[in-house]
Amino acid sequence: MCLGVLDHLPVSQLRGVGPRLAAQLADYGVTHIEDLLFHLPLRYQDRTRISPIGALQEGSEATIEGEIRVADIAFGRRRSLVARIQDGSGTLTLRFFHFSAAQKNGLQPGTRLRCFGQVRRGSSGFEIFHPEYRALDEPLPMDETLTPIYPTTTGIGQNQWRKLCSQALLYLEKAQPADLLPTGHGIGFSLVAALHYLHAPPPDAPLAQLVAGEHPAQLRLALEELVAHNLSLLRLRARQQSVPAPSLPIHSAAGLQRALLNSLPFSPTGAQQRVIGEIATDLARPLPMLRLVQGDVGSGKTLVAACAALQAIASGYQVALMAPTEILAEQHRHNFSTWFEALDIELEWLSGRVKGKSRQAAIERIASGVAGLVIGTHALFQQDVVFNRLGLVIVDEQHKFGVHQRLALSQKALDQGRAHQLVLTATPIPRTLSMVAYADLDCSVIDELPPGRQPVTTVLVDSSRREQVVTRVADACARGRQAYWVCTLIEESDALQAQAAEATAEVLREALPDLRVGLVHGRLKPAEKAAVMAAFKAGELALLVATTVIEVGVDVPNASLMIIENPERLGLAQLHQLRGRVGRGGGASHCVLLYQTPLSHTGKQRLAAMRESNDGFYIAERDLELRGPGEVLGTRQTGLMTFRVAELPTHNHLLDQVQEIAAKLQQGDPRVVDELIQRWTGSRARFGDV
Ligand code: ADP
Ligand code: MG
């Protein structure tokens, strides 16, 4: 079934593995022989053939053989030992910056050597720094396979990895485990053959294809890994839905929903209506809903959330609405208290800043069930927050929470009896990625903006033209428009961000003495923040200098110009969110990305994507291409999306097959599913155990 018995054989079975090495291997997650087999090389070296010096290419790694003609100490900027070596097709310099006396004596003219190293261009032809070399006293055999280079940091050297892995391959040969993937998917390699190939590729293996991750042996493993990952999410979903949730009938909320919609100055878009309907159907089922709503900035997700909340509240259940930042939670509190007050629904508020007596009172109102809707930050997670009848949990902007918080939330929903879960995100997740990362959720997309939204024209300006940008702000404000000036810092520290924003505000106040300039950052007290925002909204401030705290939830239609300083420091999703603060009124809006030179190649491409499009989905796809899935999902640190073999978007083309195969396997023997999940996610499958 599994890799024979290899998942039961500890690495200590292998020759040369004592307790010390075993402990070091464990740091790499390698405890069993099976783990070693999946510790795959990063790249390869070709030591299977000798290259003529005359045919070498700069940058390549090569084995050469030749005779030393001269050897001497060179006194340049750094003292070095140089040996000129010739093979009939050309001459090459070996250069050593560190060397021993014995080494120097060994490199006498007339000695024949075999050398390996990276070829670089020096002042007089090709050179190799610190080559590996051996004297050719007698003929040396060539390697029969390419040399694997394993991922390693400290402790374990390449030779050690090679020895261990070749021993593991022998065990693999003996065990000859059966394949877990169904046959007939156009995959030429069996699991055993693929592992064998990748640990010891033949001399004619296509190196470029291997480096690109596109070799059929790699595709075979990537496919299996993605299938395993998909299965683990499907299992998570199945477990979550294995217990009942309250069925919340649609009709009981009809009156409240009509009252809410009648109180609004607009009617919902077609897309909003569709998504509201999808959620309503889910909530009426006696199974926990697990739904992700994706909608671009300003697409009106809040109203969708409100309608869902009413369905739960109308049936006598409580709703928790959680936001990632205080400002956004505040914004929701403001919206919902206006909307729900008229409907006689009690609202409660809980954030990290609510302390002492008020916190106690809030907790009591939540526990007694008086509060129908509870809005807050992650403070809602805390142990002592106990709901009376929690029916629905809504998470806004879950992108920022990351998958782990989402799971912590499921746990909360579970602890409190089963609750339905609704996740809202303004960071569209590329379809490919959501298939992999969110296979446990159903997805709804609000693919339409309310009428009258203007696309924002985005320009890139380098920071040497900062003064022109300041003039542009002055012009816009003179015409009665308002502007944001956003300061970014890499540091996560609120204090440093606040300092930077303060300094910028000072400079701008001096440069623009006729304008009223406001300042908002994370260090202000909530009341101060609210006062500044209100003044800006009322038009009393023309220019608002801000940190990225304004990223979400701020709505000032008259603001039509945004300057973002050092946009190269931010992710595309974040830039898109920021930019979504303008273009909300009738007139044309602009966004100036004031970047710092020099900009890296990727940096240029990323900012160009912002100029090219206002479409969050397009931008998310570009972000995925340019930065990879870990960054896009914000889970880089958690390691959840780091695959061993699979790479996105390189292996995107496998994803349709992945779904097909996973669905097929789910119908079959559950032991095969367990085996696959265990093999590929190992201890990381913990998240599947929620
Ligand atoms: P987001 O999806 O970014 O959370 P919001 O829910 O904050 O968007 O909505 C953005 C703005 O659009 C709010 O001022 C909201 O009142 C308004 N809005 C929502 N739906 C509509 C609609 N159908 N027509 C017009 N305006 C709408
Ligand atoms: Mg929102």
310 and 407 in a single domain? The answer is yes
**Does residue 335 belong to any structural domain of this protein?**
yes
- Identify the pLDDT of residue 1: 38
- Give the separation between CA 412 and CA 562, rounded to whole angstroms: 39
412 and 495 in a single domain? The answer is no
329 and 463 in a single domain? The answer is no
* Overall average pLDDT of the 413-422 stretch: 77
The listed range with the strongest mean pLDDT (104-108, 555-559, 635-639) is 104-108
429 and 461 in a single domain? The answer is no
C-beta 428 within 6 A of ligand 1? no
| Nearest atom in ligand 1 to 301's CA | 2
Which ligand gives the minimal distance to the CA of 304? Answer: 1
* Overall average pLDDT of the 470-494 stretch: 87
Out of 260, 264, 266, mutate this one to test ligand 1's pocket (max ligand atoms within 8 Å of CB): namely 266
C-beta 268 within 6 A of ligand 1? yes
**Where residue 534 falls among pLDDT bands split at 50, 70, 90?**
confident
* Overall average pLDDT of the 551-564 stretch: 81
Domain with 603 in it: 457-613
- What CATH number should be reported for the domain holding residue 552? 3.40.50.300
C-beta 555 within 6 A of ligand 1? yes
Q: 69-84: per-residue pLDDT in tens?
A: 999 999 888 899 999 9
Q: Determine how β-strand 482-486 pairs with β-strand 543-546.
A: parallel
Better-predicted residue by pLDDT, 86 or 551: 86
Q: Whose CA is nearest to atom 18 of ligand 1?
A: 300
- Identify the pLDDT of residue 686: 36
- Identify the pLDDT of residue 466: 94
**Does residue 638 belong to any structural domain of this protein?**
no
pLDDT of 111 strictly over 90: yes
**Does residue 338 belong to any structural domain of this protein?**
yes
Q: Whose CA is nearest to atom 11 of ligand 1?
A: 298
* Overall average pLDDT of the 321-344 stretch: 88
| Nearest atom in ligand 1 to 299's CA | 2
**Where residue 631 falls among pLDDT bands split at 50, 70, 90?**
low
**Does residue 203 belong to any structural domain of this protein?**
no
Q: Average pLDDT of the chain? A: 87
C-beta 295 within 6 A of ligand 1? yes
- Give the separation between CA 184 and CA 441, rounded to whole angstroms: 29
- Identify the pLDDT of residue 406: 61
Final residue of a structural domain among 580, 613, 646: 613
3-class state of residue 121 by DSSP? strand
Final residue of a structural domain among 135, 160, 193: 135
| Nearest atom in ligand 1 to 297's CA | 3
The listed range with the strongest mean pLDDT (311-315, 576-580, 664-668) is 311-315
414 and 483 in a single domain? The answer is no
Better-predicted residue by pLDDT, 433 or 446: 446
Final residue of a structural domain among 613, 645, 668: 613
439 and 462 in a single domain? The answer is no
Q: What is the number of domains present in the chain?
A: 3
The listed range with the strongest mean pLDDT (327-336, 593-602, 648-657) is 593-602
- Identify the pLDDT of residue 690: 28
392 and 270 in a single domain? The answer is yes
* Overall average pLDDT of the 655-678 stretch: 89
**Distance from the alpha carbon of residue 620 to the mean position of ligand 1, in angstroms:** 21
Better-predicted residue by pLDDT, 631 or 268: 268
Residues forming a β-bridge with 256 = none
Look up residue 680 and give its two tokens.
């590929």
- What CATH number should be reported for the domain holding residue 75? 2.40.50.140
Which ligand gives the minimal distance to the CA of 400? Answer: 2
pLDDT of 184 strictly over 80: no
C-beta 332 within 6 A of ligand 1? no
- Give the separation between CA 64 and CA 500, rounded to whole angstroms: 56
- Give the separation between CA 473 and CA 485, rounded to whole angstroms: 9
C-beta 301 within 6 A of ligand 1? yes
**Distance from the alpha carbon of residue 301 to the mean position of ligand 2, in angstroms:** 6
Q: For tokens 């929701």, what's the residue?
A: 332
**Does residue 140 belong to any structural domain of this protein?**
no
Which ligand gives the minimal distance to the CA of 267? Answer: 1
The strand order across the sheet containing 543-546 reads: 456-462, 589-595, 559-565, 482-486, 543-546, 517-520
422 and 287 in a single domain? The answer is yes
